[in-house]
Amino acid sequence: MIEKVDELKISGEAFHSRLFVGTGKFQSGEILSKAVLASKSQMVTVAMKRANPTAEKDSILDFLDTANVRILPNTSGVRDAKEAIFVARMAREALGTNWLKLEIHPDPKYLMPDPVATLEATRELSKDGFVVLPYCHADPVLCKLLEEAGAAAVMPLGSPIGSNQGLESREFLRIIIEQANVPVVVDAGIGAPSQASEAMEMGASAVLVNTAIAVSPDPVIMGKAFAGAVKAGRAAHLAGLGNVRKSAYATSPLTGFLSS
Amino acid sequence: MNSFLDKYENTSWANISSRIELSTREDVESALNSEGRCGLQGFAALLSPIAGIEYLEEMAQLAHKLTMQRFGKVIRLFAPMYLSNECTNVCDYCGFSLGNKIPRKTLSIAEILKETAALRSQGFEHVLLVTGESANKVSTDYLFKAIMVLNEYFSNVSMEVQPLDQSDYQHLIKAGLHAVLVYQETYDRKSYAKHHIKGKKTNFNWRLETADRLGRAGINKIGLGCLYGLTEDWRTDSFFAALHLDYLEKKYWQTSFSMSFPRIRPYEGEMSPLVDLQNRDLVQLLCAFRIFNHELELSLSTRESPALREQLLPIGITTMSAGSKTNPGGYSVSDDSLEQFSISDERSPVEVAQMLRLKGYEPVWKDWDSSYHLKSKFESSKSMLCDERNSSDMQMVS
């Protein structure tokens, strides 16, 4: 029942799956294809710097079933807003989509997103008709500003990209989710299905996973595992989790006298 | 202007050397336990003789794990394109050395296009332009034209040529230059002076400060390395390479870095390596660099044998050349008589790609897009237009 009514909607488009999958780091196009299938993902990111749409065979694009999966080109590799805008337009032309995962990391070491440039590019690209999903820090104010700038969803990080550390930014994600009027997709740092579940239980609209699937010794089974975890976490969120108490309250040492 | 030279001058070779030699098991274990965010102190321990003897497998396992996590199951492939073997330096280890009686050649643009066709037909998208050091034959203008032309055909153009001024680098970046490799060869001043006998390359400081000029010019990537075999104490030499990297990474934080580990190969000269870096030592170096810096691109050339290249792959390599020719025109025009050094892995790019697949890696031909440079091209043409407009405004006023 949940699946039928509970769709993720971004820019008017509905998705059954709340798991986005990244396509870097895979051992081969064949394994990528199988892992995406097993994950049941309907939204798959592709780095424009690796894509080669004019080539005879593209090592990523040719392995994705575009009838069932939306390709979300990303701007990985750009260092400022101008470069990002340029690559976005190139992606629109080359892949025929106005959907875009905007990522601007001037720091090639930890790939930290530049909040200022991301906001500037989101504003510009939204005006230009793009459906912009910006990758950003788990900064609640920034996420509101991105929303106002026209972002179709926000993609705050759980922890440094590729780190598998999980939701180190959990407290800020909680605030972002509470305040958002657009879908919140937790991106980066999710290293295990349990962490994806946790994000979904908190009320994230979706999660994006790449390294944890691609680098797993069995990416296909891991893709399936994440699909299950995302579903379970979402269901738990919808059902409503019980409160967590940090200590037991068997006795009432301070107020017991009232009933005695 | 501040540069790495200040740091270099204030770091004692002898102290570093003894720190590496005297590293204890505890030092090595502490570097391993910190999962690599171990700093230069930890790096020194990982380079130590005791680490090499007792911890090599453990280091390799950690290096493999860290590489997988950051880079995944992919290896980037590139090809060198030798544009010229003209050289005005005398260096006792290099086939291009001025004194060597070999035919000299600098490719014309037409010949560059022939080489391009050959490399593109093999599938290459990333190309590394290589020359000797001859500012007359290989000027900045020549390089500018070559890069402009090559950007039409390749996704990514890098170069390994003589050190240039910051303004020259800025000019070449506008043409689409992505990365520059400039190996110090050795960080030991005395040894450097012994091997670099005549020519501009004798200027150790000018070479040492090249990476700073590149960083200030805003290059995307800088490649560093030592040429192993020049200096007896390879451990200390590579520590200085790491010190250089650490300094650059903090100062030019928007630039990415690669490290290479060339060992001296046979060539048309006379010198044999002063010291043979053993395979075991090379493995230790790769592991130490990966554990020290998880994000560093580690590159391996066709100088190494096919068997060794395959063994080194999982330890931390992220980038490889394949089917390389080390002479100008080698892919399409000339025979092998003009080469800088003879390669060891003579397999074709297709064969190397097949090997990678068998080993569980995706060969990545394209990991950049030349259009990423269009923005800067656009801006430079726009600013040129503005300049023209301003000057015509000026004329109208006058």
**DSSP result, B295-341:** T-EEEE-TTS-HHHHHHHHHHH--EEE-S---STTTTTT--GGG-SS
Answering whether pTM is above 0.90, one says no
User: Structure tokens of B288?
Assistant: 């130490």
User: B305: burial class by Cβ within 10 Å (0-12, 13-18, 19+)?
Assistant: middle
| B254 neighbourhood in chain A, CB within 8 Å | 79, 106-108
Question: Do A49 and B366 make contact, defined as CB atoms within 8 angstroms?
Answer: yes
Question: Do B74 and A26 make contact, defined as CB atoms within 8 angstroms?
Answer: yes
Q: Most confidently modeled of A53-67, B103-117, B378-392?
A: B103-117
- Comparing A89-98, A161-170, A208-217, B333-342, the range with the smallest average pLDDT is B333-342
pLDDT at B267: 56
Closest CA to B312 of B52, B39, B37, B67: B67
What architecture is domain B75-276+294-386? Alpha-Beta Barrel (3.20)
pLDDT tops 60 at residue B94: yes
Which sequence spans correspond to the domains of chain A? 2-242
Mean pLDDT across A190-219? 95
C-alpha angle with apex A65: A64 to A69, nearest 5 degrees? 95
Question: Do B72 and A82 make contact, defined as CB atoms within 8 angstroms?
Answer: no
| B71 neighbourhood in chain A, CB within 8 Å | 25
C-alpha angle with apex A121: A115 to A125, nearest 5 degrees? 145
Question: Do B374 and A86 make contact, defined as CB atoms within 8 angstroms?
Answer: yes
Under 8 Å between Cβ of B201 and B277: no
Fold that domain A2-242 belongs to in CATH: TIM Barrel (3.20.20)
Residue among B69, B125, B379 minimizing CB distance to A164: B69
Flag whether residue A160 sits within 8 Å of chain B, measured between CB atoms: no
Which sequence spans correspond to the domains of chain B? 75-276+294-386
Please confirm, yes or no, whether A101 is among the known catalytic residues.
Answer: yes
Instruction: Give the side-chain half-sphere CA count within 13 A for B68.
Output: 17
| B379 neighbourhood in chain A, CB within 8 Å | 82
Chain B residues bordering chain A (beta-carbon distance below 8 Å): 68-74, 125, 155, 249, 253-256, 295, 357, 360-362, 364-369, 371-372, 374-375, 378-379
Question: What's the helix, strand, coil split of chain B in %, to 5?
Answer: 50, 15, 35
Question: Do A86 and B361 make contact, defined as CB atoms within 8 angstroms?
Answer: no
DSSP A154: B
Question: What's the helix, strand, coil split of chain A in %, to 5?
Answer: 40, 15, 45
Flag whether residue A204 sits within 8 Å of chain B, measured between CB atoms: no
Residue among B69, B249, B366 minimizing CB distance to A52: B366
User: A86: burial class by Cβ within 10 Å (0-12, 13-18, 19+)?
Assistant: buried
pLDDT tops 60 at residue B378: no
User: In what helix (H) or strand (E) does residue A73 lie, and over which residues does it extend?
Assistant: strand A70-74
User: B13: burial class by Cβ within 10 Å (0-12, 13-18, 19+)?
Assistant: middle
**Mean of per-residue pLDDT scores for chain B:** 88
Annotated catalytic residue within A4, A25, A101, A231? A101
Closest CA to B77 of B182, B160, B180, B156: B156
d(CA B392, CA B385): 10
Classify residue A203 as left (phi > 0), alpha (psi -120 to 50) or beta: left
DSSP lists the bridge partners of residue A224 as none
Measure Cα distances from B224 to A14, B249, B343 in Å.
49, 12, 20
3-class state of residue A206 by DSSP: strand
Flag whether residue A211 sits within 8 Å of chain B, measured between CB atoms: yes
Pairing mode of beta strands B90-91, B196-198:
antiparallel
Mean pLDDT across A135-140? 96
Question: Do B371 and A26 make contact, defined as CB atoms within 8 angstroms?
Answer: no
Question: Do B69 and A215 make contact, defined as CB atoms within 8 angstroms?
Answer: yes
pLDDT tops 50 at residue B227: yes
DSSP lists the bridge partners of residue B90 as B198
Flag whether residue A33 sits within 8 Å of chain B, measured between CB atoms: no
d(CA B24, CA B31): 11
pLDDT above 70 covers a percentage of chain B that reads 89
